[in-house]
Amino acid sequence: MRYRTGERTRGRPSIAGTGSRAALVGAWLGFFVDMFDVYLPIIALVPAAAYFDASDVSPATAAITSSLVFVAAFLGRPVGAFVFGHWADKVGRRKVALISIVGFGTTTLAIAALPGYRTWGVAALSLLIVLRFVDGVFLGGEYTGASVLALEASPPRRRGLHGASIMSGYPLAYCFAALVTFVVLHFAPAAGIDSPYVQWGWRIPFVIGCLLAFAVAVWYARHVTESETWIRAPKSSSPMRDLLRGPNLHSFLQVFVLMTGSWLAANILAAVVPKTLAGPAHLGPTAVTVVQIVAYAILALIYPAAGALSQRIGRRNFFFATATTTALPATVLVWLLTSGRITGLLAAIGIMTAVNILAFSTAAVTTTYLNERFPIGIRSSGFGMGFSAAIVLPSFYAFYQTVLATMMPAQYTPLVLLFLAGLLIGVGALLGPETRDTEIAATTPHHEPDLGETDRT
């Protein structure tokens, strides 16, 4: 059987299976815990940086190894998408989601048990980086199963809303990680290598991440059934091979450009811009945490509205709009922060909230759009790789900033990268079709497609 992207069938009834609400809740829970674990290093580990910091290396080497702790999980995600995407298309979305959630929960618990640099030396830091990579592999598998299953069960006219609701787990996870860290710091202060937070307090958010993952896995196993769309559909004998040939390869490259821009904006806003709050904006650590909690909580509320809007105006028009707001007004607002023109808690909350809405809203629609771009037989592979492979280049944002800093003041390098992110989002949208009316639950195409052979199992 040959595969191509689903047919346009506006108004035709969906054959999505039952249990769509449970699948949607399961996908949201899985993605929430996924992103909670992803951002632990830049939220929970930052106050405990001295615990793993190498004291006998140069500052440049220390900065690189520190960034690797964050980047390692992102580098593992494409590996996870490659492996688990293949199996989600071959053996089922549900099984892959469960294995992935248990996997990253176990790895997160292992990180919580690590000794520090004073105990194991460079081995402790190396093991942290390795475990973060393994964590990323499992994290990269979670959404290839759970998110695809949920959207295949979603009514077509609510797909934009449902996809955005899943993605709201992204800002809420960031917000929750900041809140947990804030609470732990309150009763276990961080003040030097021997302080309570540095020695043991940082472990609490990681243990919470593990427990959340195991709880989600138990709930998912009890309440979510396999995708009926996947069960009824012909199966590809080699999903990755079919993804990387013909029109599907064009689809992959197009979403790669779009997602590179989306991830670049996400990294700048999540990992770089908050540092300006403590610098040019002159806010203390507690105030910075409050700004992040409020800004990301509001962003989570905006996501469902953004998804509903894309259902009305179309995915491409939505991406063109967010590409413009990312490259222009969001960049200007970040400039106000980095230049020190904005000071004070309330002003910082207002600016960060506006920046997040203008430049982070793209992510609300990407899960829906990527699922619409690939046919059933390779959907988990296409969605997983399109979502995760694009993480790699933006993960080296610190390196790009270093290069840019040789040509301009270092504090303004995020502006260039944020403008570039908007440009990539716009180009990616331009290269792809409108997908709002694509019937992703159709198990057989209505016309003979024109790419890779697959076998019916």
Q: What confidence score (pLDDT) does residue 55 get? A: 66
- Distance CA(84)–CA(90), nearest Å, equals 10
User: What range does the domain containing 357 cover?
Assistant: 20-228+236-431
Would 4 be classed as within a structural domain?
A: no
- Distance CA(392)–CA(390), nearest Å, equals 6
- Distance CA(30)–CA(25), nearest Å, equals 9
Q: Which residues of 171-198 are buried (b: 16+ CB within 10 A; e: fewer)?
A: bbbbbbbbbbbbebbeebebeebebebb
- Distance CA(283)–CA(263), nearest Å, equals 26
Q: Which of 270, 452, 293 is nearest to 375 (CA)?
A: 452
Among left, alpha and beta (phi > 0; psi -120 to 50; other), residue 2 is beta
Q: What confidence score (pLDDT) does residue 60 get? A: 62
What CATH number did the domain enclosing 145 receive?
A: 1.20.1250.20
Predicted model pTM: 0.86
Would 54 be classed as within a structural domain?
A: yes
Q: 436 near 158, Cβ under 8 Å?
A: no
- Distance CA(265)–CA(221), nearest Å, equals 34
Q: Which residues contact 87 (CB under 8 A, 6 or more apart)?
A: 95, 96
- Distance CA(422)–CA(323), nearest Å, equals 4
Would 438 be classed as within a structural domain?
A: no
Q: 97 near 218, Cβ under 8 Å?
A: no
Reduce the DSSP state of residue 361 to 3 states and report it.
Answer: coil
Would 12 be classed as within a structural domain?
A: no
The residue type at 135: D
Would 220 be classed as within a structural domain?
A: yes
The residue written with tokens 């105006």 in the block is 313
Q: What confidence score (pLDDT) does residue 61 get? A: 64
Q: What confidence score (pLDDT) does residue 17 get? A: 39
Q: What confidence score (pLDDT) does residue 366 get? A: 97
The residue type at 97: A
The 3-class secondary structure across 223-266, one letter per residue, is: HCCCCHHHHHCCCCCCHHHHHCCHHHHHHHHHHHHHHHHHHHHH
- Distance CA(329)–CA(404), nearest Å, equals 21
Q: What is the number of domains present in the chain?
A: 1
114 backbone dihedrals φ, ψ, rounded to 5° = -70, 140
Would 58 be classed as within a structural domain?
A: yes
Would 441 be classed as within a structural domain?
A: no
The CA-CA-CA angle for residues 157, 162, 163, to 5°, reads: 110
User: In terms of C-beta density within 10 A (0-12 exposed, 13-18 middle, 19 or more buried), how is residue 450 classed?
Assistant: exposed
Would 445 be classed as within a structural domain?
A: no
Q: Which of 101, 170, 171 is nearest to 137 (CA)?
A: 101
Q: What confidence score (pLDDT) does residue 278 get? A: 78
Neighbours of 25 (CB within 10 A): 18
Q: What confidence score (pLDDT) does residue 3 get? A: 44
Query: pLDDT means per 10 residues in the chain (457 residues)?
Result: 42 46 94 90 84 70 71 90 95 95 95 89 88 93 93 92 95 92 91 90 96 96 93 90 94 97 93 82 80 92 96 97 97 90 88 95 96 95 95 89 92 95 98 93 44 37
Q: How far is CA 253 from CA 21, 132, 378, in A?
A: 32, 27, 15
Among left, alpha and beta (phi > 0; psi -120 to 50; other), residue 282 is left
Neighbours of 423 (CB within 10 A): 16
